[in-house]
Amino acid sequence: MERRRLGKTDMEASVLGFGGSEIGYQGVSGRTVMRLLDGALDAGLNVIDTAECYENSEELIGKAVSGRRRDFHLFTKCGHGKSYGHADWRPAALLASIERSLRRLRTDTVDLVQLHSCSLEHLKKGDVIAALERARERGWTRYVGYSGDGEAARYDIECGRFDTLQTSVSIADQEALELSLPLAKARGMGVIAKRPIANVAWTHRTKPAELYYQDYWTRLRALDYPFLRDPDAAVATALRFTLSVPGVHTAIVGTTKPGRWKENAAMLAAGPLDREVINGIRGRWREVAKPSWVGQI
Ligand SMILES: NC(=O)c1ccc[n+]([C@@H]2O[C@H](COP(=O)([O-])OP(=O)(O)OC[C@H]3O[C@@H](n4cnc5c(N)ncnc54)[C@H](OP(=O)(O)O)[C@@H]3O)[C@@H](O)[C@H]2O)c1
């Protein structure tokens, strides 16, 4: 498994990471998470991303793999202590959330705490960033980052106070390729691609009921990339596209299934995607994307 240095941090990140939202939201059992993560760590995974509000994702990860904490870089987020719909950006609430994450993850320190998609206005006020810096001073995290999109993602880079950016990058979400990633690369930021395979939204025959998948489904119908018609090539091409974007260091694919990480890792063995295919995807996006197709949280 290829590893890339995560910006100016000291972390060498496996290009295929693990996104922890689905295990929480989809009620995966502790036994399954243990099999999933143990197997992936044995096969070369070293990036695990979760958040304060992905139901019991932090607890599941803590129970499953805190015994092998040195084998991976652990990222979490803060800002929605109660649940995703209930943001609380007061510094004391952020610090309480981070402290709770450490307990749930059964660790003294995480490698990265990220502000979980707060608005540009909150970022500009600055006290949310100061709260993360306080957590770093207390030794609760080694690095601080922002997870989000659009102008706020750009501000994360411009303000110079963050180590990383986690942002949506995929065949269905290309705003960041021009808005934030070139600057992130120039400034040496670590970049974590979230939603890197666009939630495989193209696999739904009709518009999915779940709101989270709907935008990507609609976009992909319009983009109508030819490779999506080949089930054997679709995920591999989507994943290799994301990892070919300059400045991206790791892609945190979410999964509920043991074995999935290895399956996806095998897709990367083919190496970088051909320039022609990349140009085709970019060209189609430029031709079809509407101004409203902004980075999706
Ligand atoms: N604002 C934020 O900070 C934010 C927002 C969104 C996401 N995130 C982070 O980014 C991570 C990834 O995002 P995501 O999970 O929404 O999107 P994603 O990684 O693009 O898609 C995950 C979905 O793809 C499926 N999948 C994975 N490999 C597959 C394969 N080879 N074939 C078919 N299906 C496959 C998984 O289903 P199976 O269970 O069947 O494998 C899962 O439903 C999250 O887990 C989270 O850590 C952060």
**Structure confidence by residue, pLDDT tens digits, 28-87:** 999 999 999 999 999 999 999 999 999 999 999 999 999 999 999 999 999 998 888 889
Q: How far apart are CA 223 and CA 283, in angstroms?
A: 10
Share of the chain above pLDDT 90, in %: 96
* Both tokens assigned to 276: 């022609």
- Span 197-246, pLDDT tens digits: 999 999 999 999 999 999 999 999 999 999 999 988 999 999 999 999 99
* Both tokens assigned to 76: 């979490």
Compute the distance from residue 127 Cα to the ligand 1 centre, in Å: 31
Compute the distance from residue 21 Cα to the ligand 1 centre, in Å: 8
DSSP 8-state code for residue 8: T
**Ligand 1, pocket-test mutation among 203, 253, 261, most atoms within 8 A of CB:** 253
Q: What is the mean pLDDT of residues 134-151?
A: 98
Residue 149 is predicted with a pLDDT of 98
Share of the chain above pLDDT 70, in %: 100
19 C-beta closer than 6 A to ligand 1: yes
Nearest partner of 296 among 199, 227, 222, judged by Cα: 199
Is the model's pLDDT at 297 over the cut of 90? yes
Compute the distance from residue 261 Cα to the ligand 1 centre, in Å: 11
Residue nearest to atom 41 of ligand 1 (CA): 255
CB-based contact 37:31 (threshold 8 Å): no
Q: How many alpha carbons lie under 13 Å from residue 187 in its C-beta half-sphere?
A: 20
Residue nearest to atom 19 of ligand 1 (CA): 253
CB-based contact 176:167 (threshold 8 Å): yes
13 C-beta closer than 6 A to ligand 1: no
The neighbouring-strand residues paired with 82 are none
CB-based contact 20:55 (threshold 8 Å): no
